[in-house]
Amino acid sequence: MTTPILEVKGLTKRFSIQKGWFQKNSYVHAVNGIDLAVRKGETLGIVGESGCGKSTLGRCILRLLTPTSGETIFQGKNIRSLSKPELKAMRRDMQMVFQNPFDTLNPKLMIQQILSEPLIAHGIPKKDRQTLLEETIEIVGLGKQHLLRYPHEFSGGQRQRIGIARALMLRPKLIIADEPVSALDVSIQSQILNLLQDLQEQFELTYIFISHDLSVVRHISDRVAVMYLGEVVEFGDKKELFASPLHPYTQALLSATPVSDPDEKRARIILQGDLPSPSNPPGGCKFHPRCPSCFDMCKKVSPTLQDVNEQLVACHLYG
């Protein structure tokens, strides 16, 4: 395997929650010791229920949040060891696309101003900016005339195209897309997913694609990491993972998504209870209170990821 473009080692993020003057602070364990290696040019899907720590992981990788501990190595460089100017240079190569671009597009600015911001911040000369603006707005399927409009003049799908254009302005190497189609109608979702795939080919992009929606992740990813309460519980090639999910949590998630192939029969597994609070996670395997296959050891010992048929799975059922 070639060297990964991005490696994450033991990434952990705890948020402290203040309780009151005389009470001890408690912590939300949003992300807990995650290891990942992302290959150049691939799409790594990250899937899991809302609240399992996907966005926090994405933000820690981009250093929009400072992790509590752990390392991020991007293009061979440990981000922690970078000086301020080096960190700024690295930011050019890593960009984020958000779920709801309307929240992140300043309503008072014209699209051309919004898209120029990253160019100005990174010192791109004025003479090159207009060309980049016109080129990029067309690449995402809009036209030059749209540059002089305001965010409210666009539909949800068009706004996401603008969000993607903004992420592309500096021609990054890695894009972290956090629920980029979750706020869109299904018909628009596939247009945006196709656009992301075309752009990946054209610009040799690497994606980390975050979603709670397994069918969207299935459509776009090469490999998939399944998260539960801040941890990766299963990781593998998309084909194998969807054909033979090993972790009971992945099996349950998969059983709840609609099947397109009528020959593909599976029984729906209904999980007991809700996702426990990350401020008070259960001991042993964090999934054990909801697991249909739970046995004694699961309540006491936390399983680690191990290789089973070239998939990684953290579950005592596999030894």
Q: Catalog residues that contact ligand ADP under the rule CB under 6 A.
A: 15, 28, 30, 48, 50-56, 278
Partner that binds at residue 67, options ligand ADP, Mg ion, none, CB closer than 5 to 8 Å by kind: none
Q: How far is the CB of 69 from ligand ADP (least distance, A)?
A: 16
Buried/exposed code over 150-163 (b: 16+ C-beta within 10 A; e: otherwise): ebeebebbbbbbbb
Minimum distance from residue 197 beta carbon to Mg ion (Å): 22
Kindly state the smallest distance separating residue 179's Cβ from ligand ADP, in Å. 8
Select from Mg ion, ligand ADP, none the partner in contact with residue 202, using the beta carbon and a kind-dependent cut-off of 5 to 8 Å. none
SS3 211: strand
Which one, 72 or 136, has the nearer CB to ligand ADP? Answer: 72
Within the chain, residue ranges assigned H as helices are 54-61, 84-93, 101-104, 111-121, 126-139, 156-168, 186-203, 214-220, 238-243, 248-255, 296-300
Q: Cβ closer to ligand ADP: 164 or 178?
A: 178
**Between 154 and 235, CB nearer to ligand ADP:** 235
Sign of CA dihedral 210, 216, 220, 224: positive
Q: How far is the CB of 182 from Mg ion (least distance, A)?
A: 9
Q: Encode burial over 282-315: b for 16+ CB neighbours within 10 A, e otherwise.
A: bebbbbbbbbeebeeebeeebbebeebeebbbbb
Residues that bind Mg ion (CB under 5 A): 55
Residues linked to residue 43 through DSSP beta bridges, in sequence order: 207
Q: Using the minimum distance from each CB to Mg ion, give the nearer residue, 189 or 311.
A: 189
User: Phi first, then psi: what are they for 260, rounded to 5°?
Assistant: -95, -25
- Among ligand ADP, Mg ion, none, the one that 163 touches (CB under a kind-dependent 5 to 8 A) is none
Please state whether 72 falls in left (phi above 0), alpha (psi between -120 and 50) or beta: beta
| Residue closer to ligand ADP (CB basis): 50 or 202 | 50
- 28 interface partner picked from Mg ion, ligand ADP, none, CB below 5 to 8 A per type: ligand ADP
Nearest approach in angstroms of CB 127 to Mg ion is 39
CB-nearer residue toward ligand ADP: 51 or 248: 51
Using alpha carbons, select from 212, 166, 156 the residue that is nearest to residue 189. 156
248 touches, from Mg ion, ligand ADP, none (C-beta below 5 to 8 Å by class): none
Cβ 178 to ligand ADP, closest distance in Å? Answer: 7
**Nearest residue (beta carbon) to Mg ion:** 55
Contacts of 186 by beta carbon, 8 Å cutoff, 6+ apart? none
